[in-house]
Amino acid sequence: ESHCEPCTGGVYCGQPGLTQPTGPCDGGFYCPSGQQIPNPPGLECPFGYVCPPGSFAPQVCPSGAWANASGLTVCTNCPAGYYCDLEDKCDGVNYTRPQDCPTGHYCPAGTKWPEQYKCPMGTFSNFTNLRSAMECQNCTPGFYCALPGITLPTGPCSAAYYCDGGAMTPTEIPCTPGHYCPPGTAVPPPCPAGTFNPRRYAANVSMCDPCTPGFYCAGEGLFSPTA
């Protein structure tokens, strides 16, 4: 008996007098050395780990995946709206448990780390658990969103320009003739009746010209007077 060896980890030895192990440990269980049955009581694969057939110890799921029950043999993709980051797994409680996708980002199924997918330029998000870029919010009209992964617009659109939603720069669209555009303009206001403006890039109402003598300017938003 002094030459008998404990059954190797990952397999079991089901009867006396063996020259080799009986077979691999069952999937969903793990077998440290010395096991006599393929599914040892108390050695079911725990939550957050997987145990393929022949496991000698529970295995951690890779980043982007998790094990959402005990007794599993394979990992499943991290659910959309969450991320599963291997580097976050500090103890048994947190192993592969999905974490909320952070603001400014979105997390399709299988996301590995919190900042893997940023909301694109021209968008922002101050909500968690977004599942796709389509859920990122277009930049607020009158404002621009210059960077990916932001939670609020970068700032107001520049004077002489307007931003009608989804702007990436403060000079997105030049102000149109017959109108003027103060900072933060979403929809250019028209020059008032009695004035006109033949130019682009008017920054304020004072750049609307008084109607030319001998002509009239009866409506709003004119780019030339009426004879």
Q: Which residue has the higher pLDDT, 209 or 5?
A: 209
Query: Would you say residue 138 has pLDDT above 80?
Result: yes
**Average pLDDT taken over every residue of the chain:** 92
pLDDT band at 17 (very low <50, low <70, confident <90, very high): confident
- Domain assignment of residue 41, yes or no: yes
- Domain assignment of residue 221, yes or no: no
What contacts 227, CB < 8 A, 6 or more positions away? 214, 215
Identify the pLDDT of residue 2. Answer: 59
Q: Which residue has the higher pLDDT, 16 or 58?
A: 58
The full DSSP string for the chain is -TT--PPPTTEE--SSS-SS-SEEPPTTB---TT-SSSS-TT-BPPTTEE--TT-SS-EEPPTTEE--SSS-SS-EEPPTTEE--GGG--STTTTT--EEPPTTB---TT--STTSSBPPTTEE---S---SGGGSEEPPTTEE--STT-SS--EEPPTTEE--SSBSSTTSEEPPTTB---TT-SSPPBPPTTEE--SS---SGGGSEEPPTT-B--SSS-SS-B-
What is the mean predicted confidence (pLDDT) over 166-174?
97
Query: Would you say residue 92 has pLDDT above 70?
Result: no
Q: pLDDT digits over 26-73, tens only?
A: 999 999 999 999 999 999 999 889 999 999 999 988 899 999 899 999
**Host domain of residue 27:** 1-60
Identify the pLDDT of residue 1. Answer: 52
- Domain assignment of residue 3, yes or no: yes
Number of separate domains in the chain: 1
What is the rounded distance in angstroms from the CA atom of residue 186 to the CA atom of residue 136?
19
pLDDT band at 85 (very low <50, low <70, confident <90, very high): confident
Query: Would you say residue 222 has pLDDT above 90?
Result: yes
- Domain assignment of residue 220, yes or no: no
- Domain assignment of residue 5, yes or no: yes
Q: pLDDT digits over 99-118, tens only?
A: 999 999 999 999 999 999 99
Identify the pLDDT of residue 182. Answer: 98
- Domain assignment of residue 56, yes or no: yes
pLDDT band at 93 (very low <50, low <70, confident <90, very high): very low
- Domain assignment of residue 127, yes or no: no
Identify the pLDDT of residue 96. Answer: 58
- Domain assignment of residue 7, yes or no: yes
